[in-house]
Amino acid sequence: MSHPNPPRRWARRALIASTLVVGLVGLSACATDPGGAASDDRELDLLIPAFPASWDARATSGFYLTAQLLINEPMVALAPDGSFVPTLAESVDQPDLSTYVYTLREGVTFTDGSPLTVEDVLYTFDLHSAEGTTSFMARYMAGIESVEATADHEITVKLAAPDPEWPYTIARMGIVSAAYYDEHPESVGTPDVPQLGTGPYTVESISAGSKLDLERNDDYWGAKPEYDAINFEAPADDNARLLALQSGEYDAILQAPLSQLSSLTSIPGYNLTEVPEVATYRISMDVTKAPFDDPAVRRAIAHAVDREAMLEAALSGHGTVSNGIVPAELLIGLGEAQPVEDAYESFGDSLTYDVDAAAEELAASSVPDGFAVEVLVQQSDPAQTLMAQILAQSLAEIGIDVSVSQVDDNTFLSRLYLDKTGDGLVVFSFNAGSAEPANMARSAFTAGDFGNMEQFTTPAITEALQAYKSEEDDAARQALLLQIFADANAEVPYVPVFHPSVAAVVADDLEVKDFTSFWWASRIDEIIVPTA
């Protein structure tokens, strides 16, 4: 799945996910390459889907972090295999569920030579959590009760309530230099004032919004980074990225556009790696808006959605049709597989593609003669548009007249999230920011959250979500989540359509290790490595 802009901002918490890596579907192209060991001057040229308007720490999230975290290291990093690795923090202590104590590594310096201090960490926290901040991470920081320097190299964070997602939040927070930010108010991250960090790579140049060149930080405190330089480029759209790869000047394309995978893999000298993404395309119906406040209408629509056709048309089949808005594997990771599989199968009953059943439901609804509705889709994600057109054709058969409106992301957000001025029917893609299974669920069922397009929630669900936060037992967590999804499924506020794949196409002389849906949250030089 691909939507370059804005990237997965609606990302949430996580857990580990080695189980998630269903497999490397990498096309085992000719293994003729002798695969010489990485030499010192190896550069990595990467195509990523999008660039932020600025490399300011507050403006980077999602894919952007892949570059950001190479410059500004977090205190604790997420390793490609899903484990957490202390980096700028030497150690982490968790005295209780809502308190974290980080001990900073000593002797670390920024690339300008100045030493890393607790002031820098405090400054970074403040950057993201101060009142009125523009930071994408503000909401994740909202649960902080206090952040204090409790010793020379010690930071203590107290949360208002336990937050299973906190480690992921910390792993996404690259530490910036307080002095540097003070010196350049409001302009850090621009071409003239590039970011300054302690990470394995440092900025060589930023050129006009579409290129970022990093070079190795030779004074890096840790192991010598693999590549001499890593260059990122974000062509204007999927098509341009395909063309770019064809030009042969790049080593890899990450988050490759799925509808173009066949074209991409036909380019000689490149291999495909494809894994399921923790993301869901769904059709959501705003239960507060007529006629979608009528469950019969929602059931009718659920039966009218040809999910197979949508997967085929929108993603050329690169994904899996799903009965739930969270990939089953994520829940299975918490415990037994059987209950999850049974539940998901039962969810499918209301989702069968059956136009006759749909017509029957509609005939029995408050709008037996059908109605007209506008579906908003994001211009940046062509898959949504294709799905909406298929939806329109199916719904036309039962008398619902769908007009598809393609709008830019800003309009999409403002009309559906802020103003709620849509007609109530949305084709929508929703991605997890982390492998925490409750991440997507909480967003989908919390009133006022962007993920809750349906404006659907029940007291029971809210209660279950709350209980999940302090529940430490995985099996119990699994049960809580399954209960939530069952409750929701009964009301059909949404039609889960499919989970897309996430793909990388990489040159022959490189190999992909531990590629996951969250590749961007880990060091890319540890995911894409020279063939041994």
Task: Please report, as residue ranges, which positions from 370 to 389 form the binding site for another protein (by CB under 8 A).
Answer: 377, 379, 382, 385-386, 388-389
Query: What number of chain residues touch another protein (CB under 8 A)?
Result: 84
Whole-number minimum distance, CB 485 to another protein, in Å? 22
> Could you count the other beta carbons within 10 Å of the beta carbon of residue 417?
16
Which window, 143-151, 239-247, 290-298, 479-487, contacts another protein (CB under 8 A)?
A: 239-247
Interactions with another protein, residue window 23-52 (CB under 8 A)? none
Residue from 238, 251, 329, 381 binding another protein (CB under 8 A):
238
Residue 230, CA distances (Å) to 213, 321, 360, 523, 532 in order: 6, 36, 58, 11, 19
Whole-number minimum distance, CB 14 to another protein, in Å? 15
Residue 73, CA distances (Å) to 77, 177, 495 in order: 8, 11, 39
Q: Which two tokens stand for residue 207?
A: 């050129």
φ, ψ at 309 (rounded to 5°): -60, -40
Greatest Cα-to-Cα distance within the chain, rounded to the nearest angstrom = 73
Q: Which two tokens stand for residue 260?
A: 């173009």
126-164: b or e for each residue (b if 16 or more CB lie within 10 Å)? ebbbeeeeebbbbebbebbeebeeeeebbbbbbbeebbb
**For residue 451, which of 282, 272, 259, 247 has the smallest C-alpha distance?**
282
Cα separation, 228 vs 216, in Å, equals: 5
Closest CB to another protein among residues 101, 407:
407
Interactions with another protein, residue window 86-145 (CB under 8 A)? 131-140, 142
Whole-number minimum distance, CB 405 to another protein, in Å? 7
Cα separation, 519 vs 509, in Å, equals: 20
Residue from 114, 117, 190, 531 binding another protein (CB under 8 A):
190
Instruction: Give yes or no for residue 189 binding another protein (CB under 8 A).
Output: yes
Residue from 92, 101, 122, 240 binding another protein (CB under 8 A):
240
Whole-number minimum distance, CB 249 to another protein, in Å? 8
Interactions with another protein, residue window 446-505 (CB under 8 A)? 448, 450
Closest CB to another protein among residues 69, 391:
391
Closest CB to another protein among residues 26, 433:
433
Whole-number minimum distance, CB 369 to another protein, in Å? 22
Which window, 119-127, 173-181, 231-239, 497-505, contacts another protein (CB under 8 A)?
A: 231-239
Tell me, residue by residue from 310 to 339, as one string, x for binding to another protein by CB under 8 A and - for no binding: --xx--x-----------------------
Identify whether the C-beta of residue 456 lies closer than 8 Å to the C-beta of residue 491: yes
Residue from 32, 39, 53, 96 binding another protein (CB under 8 A):
53
Identify whether the C-beta of residue 139 lies closer than 8 Å to the C-beta of residue 446: no
Closest CB to another protein among residues 45, 154:
45
Whole-number minimum distance, CB 210 to another protein, in Å? 5
Quick one: CA torsion of 383, 389, 395, 401, rounded to 10 degrees?
130
Say which residues have a Cβ less than 8 Å from residue 457's Cβ, sequence separation at least 6. 445, 446, 447
Which window, 54-62, 106-114, 270-278, 486-494, contacts another protein (CB under 8 A)?
A: 54-62
Residue from 6, 143, 496, 500 binding another protein (CB under 8 A):
6
Whole-number minimum distance, CB 64 to another protein, in Å? 11
Whole-number minimum distance, CB 288 to another protein, in Å? 18
Interactions with another protein, residue window 241-260 (CB under 8 A)? 242-244, 246-247, 257, 259-260
Whole-number minimum distance, CB 34 to another protein, in Å? 26
Whole-number minimum distance, CB 87 to another protein, in Å? 24
Whole-number minimum distance, CB 380 to another protein, in Å? 8
Which window, 186-194, 333-341, 488-496, 503-511, contacts another protein (CB under 8 A)?
A: 186-194
Interactions with another protein, residue window 353-372 (CB under 8 A)? none
Q: Parallel, antiparallel, or unpaired: how do β-strands 401-407 and 528-530 relate?
A: unpaired
Interactions with another protein, residue window 402-441 (CB under 8 A)? 403-411, 413-415, 417-419, 421
Interactions with another protein, residue window 275-314 (CB under 8 A)? 306, 308-309, 312-313
**For residue 291, is the peptide bond before it cis, meaning its omega torsion is within 30 degrees of 0?**
yes
Identify whether the C-beta of residue 275 lies closer than 8 Å to the C-beta of residue 25: yes
Closest CB to another protein among residues 4, 74:
4
Interactions with another protein, residue window 211-230 (CB under 8 A)? 211
Closest CB to another protein among residues 191, 530:
191
Segment holding 394, helix H or strand E? helix 382-397
Identify whether the C-beta of residue 253 lies closer than 8 Å to the C-beta of residue 47: yes
Within 13 Å and on the Cβ side, how many CA atoms surround 419? 9
> Could you count the other beta carbons within 10 Å of the beta carbon of residue 103?
18
Whole-number minimum distance, CB 263 to another protein, in Å? 4
Helices (runs of H) and strands (runs of E) counted in the chain? 18, 20
Whole-number minimum distance, CB 216 to another protein, in Å? 19
Whole-number minimum distance, CB 100 to another protein, in Å? 21
Closest CB to another protein among residues 50, 285:
50
DSSP symbols for 290-357 = TTTTSHHHHHHHHHT--HHHHHHHHHTT-EEE-SSSS-HHHHHTTS-SHHHHHHHHHHGGGG---HHH
The one-letter amino acid code at 146 reads: S
